[in-house]
């Protein structure tokens, strides 16, 4: 069982670090968006924002103040995530179409729980605005499109300029991730979203039915409490994703708006009761018998506040109270683990998972973390892992309690001669279980070895080109120095690489780097003798090469090979060049830093000698 516990740590740590540390690449904010024939265009980083904390504004009132410089570009560390705020949020951007721009588009705001969303668009020729209304205060069956996220249809004519205003007001978290879709691309993205949601609710439904069967078999109330916990947790997630509005309550605006906070608080009620029963022995030893009941009472109050219509207050309270509850459960679970209570290992892992999700979503909701795949879905991922681990904790708890019972029974029956045969059978079963656990241990060790190998590879290689990174490069050079062998290093730096990114996009730049990496491998015996040490800088190690004329020939051949045209995915042909420089060990330098520095200086001399248009 210890092996199973250890195998979850890398997964959970990786999930936590990804959620907290991965920040999306930010582009320079601009209100102008060129709409061509792309399947999807992200708009969040191109908008300007006006936060209105005063009286509500109509579009006409806003336009009357357009000379007041109300709008400011989005903050690069925040984009369109505004946290728990009651401000009225206005977003503005301009769309420029070309002769290849399709007529029909959909503007998607992938945050279904926003209360009111207004979309206003006008052709700058006539300035006549077309307005649409959406949000979860609009009955689902009254929306123009049966879609689980708010979408607006936009009709765009070619070679025109449009101005778009989006107004958002909500009592909960205000996050406005904007994307412009072509219809077919939106449909394909929807299928991926439904697949993700189906997986989540498939896991939830399986655990729910399984634990219901266990409850009816054992009549232990803790299983029924667990079923209620995951049921309400799934319902709250359905409210946040828009599924409850689409499939359960398409006619009831009030209930659909109530579900996300109220169902989450209800899950907190049963989660705290579950923790109270599961950690009963630990709570008694620490004289904290009432602690989890206090949390349960707090969640009940949050439910009542939400039902009474104070949604903003309830949303803020459920985030903070839930975070405090998860921290307490984790601390008490860790104490139970120290006291070797049954099932405590999986219980701790479960609350680590949920706590990670809660921390990330809470920091996202209050505007600290940006909007990306991990922050938006952190509670989904964390709760799914938590549900699985809590089910395993219950199973482990039963297993350990049964083991304790069997041990006591075996000791009692040991004094009776007539139970010798039964004792032998128990011994045979124990051997079978040991063999099974041994096989599990071997499988887990294989998985750990594979994970270790993957981590070693990732630590020593560039994630894009799979070439060696600076760390592996230094190891290779130090190995050659230790062998006392002469070798040469060649520094190759792409010329005018930034304009390629600027003109053709980062995907084209990545293709150029991958092509260059393949071409550089030609000049070495082993791919690990080529390293990417910067955005567009590469270093080659040539063992046993210590003759300068020969190296000059290699550099010339390298430039010829690299300069062969590259055909991008869109058919564009590019010709790239590199500046190179080399240094020889130990003729030019006897230390790693000096050797690389001289090769780098030679490369820059080569680059400076060129004439770029």
DSSP string, 498-537: HHHHHHH-HHHHHHHHHHHHHHHHTTSSSGGGEEE-SSSE
Rounded Cα gap, residues 613 and 606, in angstroms: 16
Question: What pLDDT score was predicted for residue 13?
Answer: 46
Among candidate residues 500, 518, 520, 499, the one with its CA nearest the CA of residue 509: 500
Q: With beta carbons less than 8 A apart as the criterion, state whether 538 and 517 touch.
A: yes
Question: What pLDDT score was predicted for residue 84?
Answer: 80
Among candidate residues 394, 139, 373, 375, the one with its CA nearest the CA of residue 251: 139
Q: Please identify, among 181, 211, 230, the residue that sits at the C-terminal boundary of a domain.
A: 181
Residues 360 and 505 in one domain: no
Residue 55 within any structural domain of the chain: yes
Question: What pLDDT score was predicted for residue 297?
Answer: 95
Coil, strand, or helix at residue 107? strand
Coil, strand, or helix at residue 570? coil
Strands 487-494 and 129-134: unpaired
Rounded Cα gap, residues 59 and 245, in angstroms: 28
Coil, strand, or helix at residue 383? helix
Phi, psi of 306 (to 5 degrees): -65, -45
Question: What pLDDT score was predicted for residue 108?
Answer: 94
Distances (CA, A) of 31 to 130, 201, 249, 376: 19, 39, 37, 25
Question: What pLDDT score was predicted for residue 50?
Answer: 93
CATH of the domain at 568: 3.30.70.270
Residues 516 and 603 in one domain: yes
Residue 187 within any structural domain of the chain: no
Residue 392 within any structural domain of the chain: yes
Number of domains composing the chain: 3
Question: What pLDDT score was predicted for residue 76?
Answer: 55
Question: What pLDDT score was predicted for residue 587?
Answer: 84
Residues 198 and 177 in one domain: no
Distances (CA, A) of 29 to 106, 233, 396: 22, 37, 52
Residue 510 within any structural domain of the chain: yes
Residue 15 within any structural domain of the chain: no
Residues 272 and 330 in one domain: yes
Residues 349 and 498 in one domain: no
Element (H, E) at 42: strand 40-42
Q: Please identify, among 411, 435, 461, the residue that sits at the C-terminal boundary of a domain.
A: 411
Residues 228 and 110 in one domain: no
Residue 3 within any structural domain of the chain: no
- Residue 97 structural domain: 30-181
pTM over 0.75: no
Residues 162 and 236 in one domain: no
Residues 380 and 510 in one domain: no
Location of structure tokens 């307490």: 328
Rounded Cα gap, residues 188 and 336, in angstroms: 47
Rounded Cα gap, residues 503 and 564, in angstroms: 20
CATH of the domain at 106: 2.60.40.2380
Residues 600 and 474 in one domain: yes
Q: Please identify, among 146, 181, 216, the residue that sits at the C-terminal boundary of a domain.
A: 181
Residues 270 and 303 in one domain: yes
Rounded Cα gap, residues 311 and 263, in angstroms: 13
Question: What pLDDT score was predicted for residue 104?
Answer: 94
Coil, strand, or helix at residue 340? coil
- 244-278: b (≥16 Cβ within 10 Å) or e: bbbeebbeebeebbbbbbbbbbbbbbbbbbbbbeb
Q: What is the DSSP letter of 246?
A: I
Please, what are the averages of pLDDT over each run of 10 residues along the chain (613 residues)? 39 45 42 89 90 91 82 70 87 93 93 90 91 87 85 93 94 87 93 88 86 85 87 86 78 80 91 88 88 93 90 86 86 86 77 76 65 74 80 75 73 74 79 82 84 83 87 86 85 88 86 88 83 88 82 88 87 88 87 87 88 57
Residues 147 and 206 in one domain: no
- Tokens for 196? 């993700």
Residues 394 and 342 in one domain: yes
Question: What pLDDT score was predicted for residue 28?
Answer: 39
Residue 418 within any structural domain of the chain: no
Residue 443 within any structural domain of the chain: no
Rounded Cα gap, residues 321 and 358, in angstroms: 11
Question: What pLDDT score was predicted for residue 7?
Answer: 40
Among candidate residues 497, 487, 504, 498, the one with its CA nearest the CA of residue 562: 497
């Amino acid at each position: 069982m210890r092996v199973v516990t250890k195998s979850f740590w890398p997964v959970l740590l990786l999930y936590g670090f990804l959620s907290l540390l991965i920040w999306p690449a930010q582009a320079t904010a601009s209100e102008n968006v060129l709409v061509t024939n792309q399947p999807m265009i992200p708009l969040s980083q191109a908008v300007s924002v006006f936060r209105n904390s005063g009286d509500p504004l109509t579009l006409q009132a806003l336009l009357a103040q357009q000379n007041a410089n109300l709008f400011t570009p989005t903050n690069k560390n925040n984009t369109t995530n505004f946290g728990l705020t009651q401000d009225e949020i206005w977003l503005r951007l301009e769309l420029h179409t070309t002769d290849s721009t399709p007529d029909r588009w959909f503007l998607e705001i992938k945050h279904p729980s926003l209360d009111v969303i207004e979309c206003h668009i006008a052709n700058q020729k006539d300035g006549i605005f077309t307005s649409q209304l959406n949000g979860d205060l609009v009955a689902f069956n009254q929306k123009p499109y049966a879609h689980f996220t708010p979408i607006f249809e936009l009709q765009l004519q070619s070679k025109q300029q449009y101005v778009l205003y989006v107004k958002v007001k909500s009592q909960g978290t205000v996050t406005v991730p904007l994307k412009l879709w072509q219809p077919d691309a939106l449909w394909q993205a929807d299928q991926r979203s439904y697949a993700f949601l189906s997986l989540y609710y498939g896991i939830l439904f399986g655990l729910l039915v399984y634990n219901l069967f266990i409850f009816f078999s054992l009549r232990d109330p803790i299983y029924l409490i667990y079923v209620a916990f995951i049921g309400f947790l799934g319902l709250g997630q359905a409210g946040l994703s828009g599924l409850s509005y689409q499939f359960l309550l398409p006619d009831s605006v009030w209930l659909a708006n109530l579900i996300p906070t109220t169902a989450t608080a209800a899950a907190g009620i049963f989660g705290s009761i579950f923790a109270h029963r599961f950690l009963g022995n630990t709570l008694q030893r620490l004289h904290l018998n009432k602690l989890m009941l206090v949390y349960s009472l707090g969640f009940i109050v949050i439910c009542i506040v939400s039902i009474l219509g104070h949604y903003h207050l309830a949303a803020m309270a459920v985030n903070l109270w839930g975070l405090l509850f998860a921290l307490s459960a984790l601390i008490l679970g860790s104490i139970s683990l120290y006291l070797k209570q049954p099932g405590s290992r999986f219980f701790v892992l479960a609350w680590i998972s949920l706590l990670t999700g809660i921390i990330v979503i809470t920091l996202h909701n209050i505007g600290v973390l940006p909007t990306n795949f991990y922050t938006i879905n952190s509670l989904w991922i964390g709760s799914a892992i938590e549900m699985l681990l809590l089910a395993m904790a219950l199973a482990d708890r039963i297993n350990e309690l049964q083991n304790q019972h069997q041990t006591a029974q075996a000791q009692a029956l040991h004094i009776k001669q007539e139970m010798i045969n039964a004792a032998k059978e128990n011994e045979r079963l124990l051997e079978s279980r040991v063999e099974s656990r041994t096989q599990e241990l071997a499988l887990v060790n294989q998985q750990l070895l594979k994970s270790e190998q993957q981590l070693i590879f990732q630590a020593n290689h560039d994630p894009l080109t799979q070439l060696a990174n600076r760390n592996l490069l230094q190891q290779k050079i130090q190995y050659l120095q230790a062998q006392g062998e002469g070798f040469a290093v060649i520094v190759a730096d792409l010329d005018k690489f930034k304009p390629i990114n600027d003109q053709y996009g980062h995907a084209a730049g990545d293709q150029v780097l991958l092509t260059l990496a393949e071409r550089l491998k030609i000049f070495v015996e082993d791919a690990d003798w080529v390293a990417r040490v910067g955005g567009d800088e590469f270093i080659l190690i040539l063992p046993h090469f210590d003759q300068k004329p020969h190296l000059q020939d290699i550099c010339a051949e390298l430039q010829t090979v690299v300069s062969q045209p590259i055909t991008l995915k869109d058919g564009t042909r590019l010709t790239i060049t590199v500046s190179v420089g080399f240094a020889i060990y130990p003729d030019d330098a006897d230390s790693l830093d000096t050797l690389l520095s001289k090769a780098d200086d030679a490369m820059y001399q080569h680059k400076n000698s060129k004439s770029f248009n």
